[in-house]
Amino acid sequence: MKILLAVDGSQYTKRMLAYLAVHDEWFTSDHEYTAFHGVLALPHRAVAFAGPELVRGYYHDDAEAVFGPIRIILKRRGIEATFVHKVGHPAENIAKLAEKGKFDLLVMGSHGHGALAGLVLGSVATKVLAQCSTPVLLIR
């Protein structure tokens, strides 16, 4: 099974990984894993001020801060994964990758906002569900 893990380094990502860890049928080397981290682009004025080299370094460091602990967890389980990070709207990029990569399952954590808070605040998980036909396992 091809599984896409949408990660952001938050407590919700940690909960998602903990859930997978106690469900051996999901978290084994029998599956093919891709971990994806998306980050919003910095404002264009900040990019112009900082310069492209510093901005690239910022995005790289951000991705490594998220992926580092996940690499360790997966390695302990004997799982090799592909790690992908992309600048842009996270929900759109997750949904696009899930579709283009022909994943069998997308797993992601959710903040668990109520309906009203989700409406007002928006939610990456809600937007992914609206844009993606890949089955999604949300962990709250």
Residue-wise pLDDT tens digits, 46-88: 888 989 899 999 999 999 999 999 999 999 989 999 999 999 9
Residues 6+ apart with CB under 8 A from 59: 39, 85, 87
The residues spanned by each domain of the chain are: 2-139
Instruction: Confirm if 20 and 27 have CB atoms less than 8 A apart.
Output: yes
- Collapse the DSSP code of 104 into the 3-class scheme (helix H, G, I; strand E, B; otherwise coil) and give the result: coil
Whole-prediction pTM value?
0.89
Domain boundaries 2-139, CATH class = alpha beta
Residue-wise pLDDT tens digits, 91-126: 999 999 999 999 999 999 887 544 544 444 458 888
